[in-house]
């Protein structure tokens, strides 16, 4: 790491790289590091080179997903993150990649999203939300940063889908990564909020294992029906090596 890189880092942080997208991300094991689900969701998003695109990244964390999309999507990105330390990391990652002209980072609660952003203004909304419901007996990470990222402590599924729908223009596209065991709930709530599921991909950790993630594309006010279940993705071989498709996402072809 160069001295020039050091100026972007604070205590306990490091710089990681997604080679396939030529993007560098500030990470911290103390508070947040992006995982494979961010890479998978960015890969799932349909490309668009419309220069007028407005793209919103909800529950942005350190900004990984939208930074991974910098070449795939033209236009302006807005990253929305509740936790101040993570929002600060996202801002510094934007600067690290010299993308300040195309990215805005908002340290904001999604519940207050429309105090800063206009309804029906986004062409694309992506979100990697907390996966787990906040039940009294559910075991939560003692690290508060990770607990908020993984459990619905500050926002639940309905809140995420309400914000996604409210932000999107008619026929705008929303993208979500979540857990398959909540798929019925996701689809039920999405249609309630005018988000029609159009494309679904299941992610399997190994060839003979059940899916542990699902990627979903919605179209706001899209016609009912016509859902495509695209071929599944297997992450690792039985020998614990990434499959060729995942290797290409991480390192390029």
Q: Estimate to the nearest angstrom the gap between the alpha carbon of 153 and the chain centroid.
A: 18
Residue 87 CB contacts under 8 Å (≥ 6 apart), including other chains: 60, 79, 81, 105, 106, 107
DSSP-derived letter for residue 142 is S
The tally of domains found in the chain comes to 1
The ranges of the chain with pLDDT < 70 are 1-6, 32, 132-154
CATH classification of the domain holding 213:
3.40.50.150
Domain of 92, in residue numbers: 3-251
Distance from C-alpha of 18 to C-alpha of 41, rounded to nearest angstrom: 14
Query: C-alpha angle 169/174/179, rounded to 5°?
Result: 155
- Residue 144: per-residue pLDDT: 54
Distance from C-alpha of 208 to C-alpha of 155, rounded to nearest angstrom: 34
Instruction: Flag whether the pTM goes above 0.85.
Output: yes
């Amino acid at each position: 790491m160069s001295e020039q890189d050091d100026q972007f880092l604070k205590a306990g942080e490091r710089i990681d790289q997604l080679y396939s997208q030529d993007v560098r991300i500030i990470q911290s094991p103390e508070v947040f590091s992006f995982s494979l689900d961010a890479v998978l969701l960015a890969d799932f998003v349909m490309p668009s080179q419309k220069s007028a695109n407005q793209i919103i990244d909800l529950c942005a964390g350190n900004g990984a997903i939208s930074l991974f999309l910098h070449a795939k999507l033209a236009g302006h990105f807005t990253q929305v993150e509740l936790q101040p330390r993570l929002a600060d990391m996202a801002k510094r990652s934007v600067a690290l990649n010299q993308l300040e002209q195309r990215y805005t980072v908002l340290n904001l609660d999604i519940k207050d999203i429309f105090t800063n952003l206009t309804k029906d203004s986004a062409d694309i909304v992506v979100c990697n939300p907390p996966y787990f419901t906040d039940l009294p007996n559910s075991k939560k990470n003692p690290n508060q940063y990770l607990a908020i990222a993984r459990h619905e402590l500050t926002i639940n599924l309905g809140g995420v889908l309400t914000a996604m729908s409210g932000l999107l223009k008619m026929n705008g596209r929303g993208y979500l990564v979540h857990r398959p065991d909540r798929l019925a709930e996701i689809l039920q709530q999405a249609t309630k909020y005018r988000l029609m599921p159009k494309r679904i991909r299941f992610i399997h950790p190994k060839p003979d294992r059940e899916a542990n993630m699902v990627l979903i594309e919605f179209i706001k006010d899209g016609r009912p029906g016509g859902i495509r279940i695209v071929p599944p993705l297997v992450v690792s071989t039985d020998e614990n090596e990434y499959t060729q498709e995942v290797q290409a996402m991480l390192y390029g072809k």
